[in-house]
Each structure stands twice: as C-alpha cells, then as structure tokens.
Amino acid sequence: MGTYAGLRFSGDRLAPESLTRILGTEPRTAYRKGDVFKIVRGHEVRGRTGLWLLSSEGRVDSLDLNDHLDYLLGLVFPDGRTDKLPKLQKLMRNFQIEADVPCFWHGEHGAEPPVVRDDIRSQFARIPAAIEEDFDTD
C-alpha cells in the first residue's frame, strides 16, 4: 500500500538543466530528446521526447496523497510565493513544454481512493499541469 506523486515536464525542446535551475531541485529522471537515459539488460532506452520528472517518493513520508502534492507545489510556490511561476511559464511557452502530475495510489481491497483537494487542483492548473490519477486497490 502506498502513494506518491510526480511533477513531470516534457517536450521535444526541453533542456533539463533549465527546469532544475528554476525549481531548485534535482529530478529523479531527466533527459533530452534522443538521449540514452537508461540501459535495461543491455538495451539502450532513448528519450522519444525530453523529460524532467521529480517524484515525492522517498521525500515525503505520508500515506496522504495531498501531502505529496503539497510538497510538489512547494517547489513551484515556495512559502506561497509566486515569483517562480512566470519564469516557469515563460520557459514552457518558449520551448513548447507540457506539464502533468502523475499520482500513484494503491490501497487495500475496499479502500476508498484519495480525493485531491480543490485548492491543490487550482494551484496546479495555474502552471498549467494536469493531474493524472493511477489509483487501484488489491
């Protein structure tokens, strides 16, 4: 049983270091389009597009998905400030970068899936970053 969330940016012209600079943290996975970013049992895995992905897994110790999402929002809106947002939006606009928020939750049989708070949805919509739910139970 567990939950976590990611903040993911993608685009053919994405340069990972630009996002790292604005958000001030190292991603879990980052690569440019065409880069080999992983070797699996001798097979090279190349990026079909550029990608920058930060995960709350291992950074937030909570079974509440909203705590994980709050953590990610804190990177874009540190202490509630909005000064990073225009920089991020300009980068996304200039380089045709999209953002989304993949959310993972796995519960016991019969467990109720989490509900993402409206204020969290609104904040991610400002980026804009769509919340993508991967919820399931045993």
Partner 1 sequence: MPQIIWNQPGNPSRGVAARLGITRDQLRNALHRIKADVKYGPTDRVIIWDDGSVSDDEGEMIGNVYDEI
Q: Which residues contact 99 (CB under 8 A, 6 or more apart)?
A: 7, 8, 9, 10, 92, 127, 128, 129, 130
CB-nearer residue toward partner 1: 34 or 78: 34
> In the set 32, 33, 84, 106, which binds partner 1 (CB under 8 A)?
106
Does 41 help bind partner 1 (rule: CB under 8 A)? Answer: yes
- Residue 65 and residue 97: Cα distance in Å, rounded? 25
Cα separation, 120 vs 118, whole angstroms: 5
Q: Which helix (H) or strand (E) holds 132?
A: strand 130-137
Whichever of 13 and 48 has its CB closer to partner 1, that residue is 48
Shortest Cβ 75–partner 1 spacing (Å)? 17
Name the residues that contact partner 1, by CB under 8 A: 1-2, 6, 8, 10, 29, 37-38, 40-41, 43, 45, 47-49, 51, 53, 55, 102, 104, 106, 132-134, 136, 138
